[in-house]
Amino acid sequence: MRVVRRCLANLLERVSPRARIVSLGAGLDAEMARLAGRAEVVEVDVPEVAARKKALLEELGVSGVEVVGLDLRDDEDEDGLARLFDDRTIVFSECCLAYVPPEVAAKARRIAAKKSAAAWLELSPAPKGAYGAALAEGFQRRGAPLLSAPASPEAAAADLLRHDWPAALARTLDAAAIDIEPLYEGELFDEHAALAVARRHYVVAVASKDPALLDACFRPRVRPFEPDDLDQVRKCYENAMLPAEHSIAKHARAALRGPLSSAEAVAKTFARFWVAVEGGVVGCVGLDASKSIKNLAVVPEARRRGVASALLDAAEGAGGSHLDTLGGLTGAVRLFEKRGFELAKVRSVRGKSGAFELRSYRKLVDLVALPLVEADHSEPRLKIPHVKPLDAHVDFQLPAPLYVSLVFQLGGRRYVAKRTSTSPHHNRTIPKGAFVRCRLEPTAPPEWAFPRRINTFRRRRDDPCGAGEEGPCTCNADCLVA
């Protein structure tokens, strides 16, 4: 599980060079063995499972993992569990506490807190609503009823606080997921939605005596701006921008007088506006009607924790593909270039306070452009004047979202643009307004604009194009009905 793996890795970086991971209910899973080189690893399970795990590790020649047989339900094993915890211990429970009675789960959390363990990380199902009821029923049928599963992230965090942890934070697995890839590459439209629904019914909770460790696991939550956020947004922007040099501070004050002056001004200026929230607003970013990313800001105390990247994820996901920034914002410049934005233009702007550098960036999505089959009568969505014969690519802004492909005309020839396997938007809709770079392959075999229709769509009975059952419809229009 990439989310849990990332949380553990982040905690390991901050706890101690001699950190210890105690994994409760590890079963026969080999995940913790991967971390044996980075930390001392102790796996705890009921004695019969522990004996099987120990024999399996010996058979495979895996070292660096201690396997301990303890039953959390047995009061006599409390002292043995307590001896495993100290101030360099990260306790990890992957779903196992959801299957034990609530008093057993509470006992394990309290023992770890009492022994001043550095951090507690827990993954658990959270059966809520109709989907959650079906999830719980599935566990019940498999003989593993969910006896202690929280109903929500808030309930999971409250349990940890109630069980003597000074600070706790929880997210749904979907909210905590960062850069999660599709389960497999195939159908374009369904996997992300199905995976997101499943992840919303699992909770990742972290607790610690040090609140700063909570931030190591989770980036602040990014959500749409609400009118009540205005005062905090203005304060966030002031803290982020006004300590800077004069030219930057001047632009910040202009933003506070203009687009960030009121909730009405925000709504009028931006097509979308987001805030990053952790207790209060710690960052913000906007997207205007031209898909330009505007007014990205993060307070100094929340920097270098992925907040700016999370805000850019939201803006880019909504189609943000270009931006302007001041050359003096060196940290922002490094971030944009690291995320694949290309420098498109540099201008020297002179104002009353002197000259300053304004940099324009844009992010190009790689596509491949193949000749369109002549029998495909799809109309081009974009017409581009002829380019030099030596040009191996053509750049443009998408006139419409790209779901499967896009037909465009270059000179007098029609092409069909499609994703490449290296595109960051592979298997996802590329939003309208995104800047793309099409690699031209004029000598490649011609392709149909929508070849998936052959297998996934059926014909109307009247078959107005008269194509019969031979290949896709010759006009490739909406005579093929799902």
Residue finishing a domain among 159, 185, 218: 218
Same-domain status, 66 and 160: yes
- What are the pLDDT digits (tens) for 77-134? 888 989 999 889 999 999 999 999 999 999 999 999 998 888 999 999 998 888 888 8
Per-residue pLDDT, 217: 73
CB 406 within 8 A of CB 398: yes
Please check whether residues 137 and 271 belong to one and the same domain.
Answer: no
Domain membership flag for residue 410: yes
The answer, yes or no, to whether residue 353 has pLDDT greater than 70, is no
On whether both 353 and 373 belong to a single domain, the answer is no
Sign of CA dihedral 14, 16, 18, 22: negative
**Domain-embedded: residue 479:** no
- Asked which of 331, 362, 393 is the last residue of a domain, the reply is 362
Per-residue pLDDT for 471 more than 90?
no
pLDDT of residue 214: 78
CATH at residue 190: 3.40.50.150
Residues 180 and 240 in one domain: no
Residue 209 pLDDT > 80: yes
The larger pLDDT score, comparing residue 193 to residue 464, is at 193
Whether residue 8 lies inside any domain: the answer is yes
Q: Give the C-alpha separation, 392 to 19, whole Å.
A: 52
| Mean pLDDT in residue range 7-16 | 81
Residue 323 sits in the same domain as residue 385: no
Mean pLDDT, residues 271-291: 90
Nearest to 182 by CA among 205, 199, 202: 199
24 band by pLDDT with thresholds 50, 70 and 90: very high
The total domain count for the chain is 3
Same domain for 392 and 345, yes or no, is: no
Is 467 a member of any domain?
no
Most confident range, picked from 63-77, 236-250, 382-396: 63-77
The rounded percent of the chain whose pLDDT value lies above 70 is: 84
Positive or negative torsion for Cα 442, 444, 446, 447: negative
**Residue 442's domain spans which residues?**
364-451
CB 262 within 8 A of CB 228: no
Mean pLDDT of the chain: 82
Q: At which of 337, 362, 387 does a domain end? A: 362
Entry pTM: 0.56
Any domain includes 114: yes
Q: Are residues 124 and 236 in the same domain?
A: no
Residue 71 sits in the same domain as residue 143: yes
Token couple for 437: 């770079």
Q: Are 285 and 373 found together in one domain?
A: no
Spatial neighbors of 12 by CB under 8 A, at least 6 apart, are 19, 21, 35, 38, 39, 90
Residue 295 sits in the same domain as residue 422: no
Asked if residue 114 and residue 66 are part of one domain, the reply reads yes
Answer yes or no: do 279 and 200 share one domain: no
Task: For residue 119, give both structure tokens.
Answer: 């951090």
Q: What is the pLDDT of residue 216?
A: 65
pLDDT of residue 112: 93
Residue 90 lies in a domain: yes
The arithmetic mean of pLDDT across residues 315-328, rounded, is 87
Domain-embedded: residue 113: yes
Q: What is the DSSP letter of 372?
A: B
